[in-house]
Amino acid sequence: MNFAVLQFPASNCDQDAIHAIRVLGHHARYVWHKESALGDARAVIVPGGFSYGDYLRCGAIARFSPVMAAVQQFAANGGLVLGICNGFQILCEAGLLPGALVRNRSLQFRCEHVYLKVAAHDSPFTSRIPEGKVLRIPVAHGEGCYFADDDLLNQLETRKQILWQYCNARGELTEPANPNGSLRNIAGICNERRNVAGLMPHPERACEPLLGSADGRFIFESMIHALEKPTSARAA
């Protein structure tokens, strides 16, 4: 299985993403932001970091990179795209995901492990996560507060586009468990078609017990499982 991992100036989690895919026994390669094609990639990861130094808004410059036109077309053709942290911000700026990521309510950069509740298991990014499993995955961001108006939030809930929510160790959605003030404790969402997803926590930093948690593997294993299905089954 071939994954494309995008590289922008100041990306800093691209190597982690490559390592995570290889730990799972699959192939991954870097795709520089000036490239106009994704090659034979079966899935795309838009990694974390500080693309273009996070000038203007996080992800606001990266959305104009040549490679993003290829990502737009790839997603339009049904390809799986996962944005992590800054990658989530880029996907929102590019219009591939709804809503926006704004400054943490605390106005502080948060770097810690958090707990995630899976809000929807029927997606290519969550299907292999055991029912009731609370994930322990790190965050590291200053602008991770998910924001949208009430109409969009209600739509996301109705269409089960909210995939992950911040919770405590018991899986309860509480305010203290929310590291950035995201509305409705949203940690990650998908598009209506369910082939593009983004989350602020870093699953690539939680793929081996040596790192303190291997819970991030479930997300990548879900993607791999979806890609291994026949095309007709994935479209169903």
The amino acid at 231: T
Our answer to whether residue 202 is catalytic in this structure is yes
113 is catalytic: no
Q: Determine which one of 85, 145, 190, 207 is catalytic.
A: 85
Which of 33, 143, 190, 204 is an active site residue? Answer: 204
In the set 13, 93, 143, 202, the catalytic residue is 202
As given in the structure block, the two tokens for residue 219 are: 């997300």
CA distance 90 to 193: 18
172 catalytic? Reply is no
The single-letter code of the amino acid at 185 is N
CA 71 to chain CA centroid, nearest Å:
14
What is the rounded distance in angstroms from the CA atom of residue 12 to the CA atom of residue 113? 18
What type of residue is 188?
G
Q: Is 68 exposed, middle or buried (0-12, 13-18, 19+ CB in 10 A)?
A: buried
The residues assigned a catalytic role are 85, 202, 204
